[in-house]
Amino acid sequence: MRLPTFRPPAFARLSSALLALALCALPASAQEVASTGDYLARMDADRDGRVSLLEYQDWLSYAFDAMDANRDGVLDASEQPASGRGARAPLTREAHRKTLAERFARQDRNRDGFLDARELASPPQ
């Protein structure tokens, strides 16, 4: 008997791809980061030494914003990276930010609503 293969919803796969793109293709200003502390400093818009959910979402949404050519807040099939799986379902900015919020929550190990340098450097649970 063959077990069914789990396939996450299309928006979750695309959000994962966007997050990977964001982490691999950082903006020029982030490419100069030499340590986790430097990375935290770049994400920490209010300079309080920790990264809030909003700062995290804003920083990791630049890849979405760069692909959203018509600036309508939705990545349609023509704006998404090509894949061998056929047309992709549209992804809204809200759905993308929701996925980022879920990942943020998994990284926020002490559940204080912020990421410090140690939490930012460790993979999500």
pLDDT at position 98 over 90 = yes
pTM score, whole prediction: 0.69
Q: What is the pLDDT of residues 20-44, one digit of tens each?
A: 555 444 444 444 445 667 878 889 9
What is the model's pLDDT at position 88?
82
Domains detected in the chain: 10-24+33-121 (1.10.238.10)
Which of 22-36, 76-90, 106-120 comes out lowest in average pLDDT? 22-36
* Angstrom distance (rounded) from CA 3 to CA 21: 31
* Angstrom distance (rounded) from CA 62 to CA 69: 12
Smallest CA-to-CA distance from 74 within 14, 25, 24 is with 14
Question: Contact at 8 Å (CB) between 22 and 60?
Answer: yes
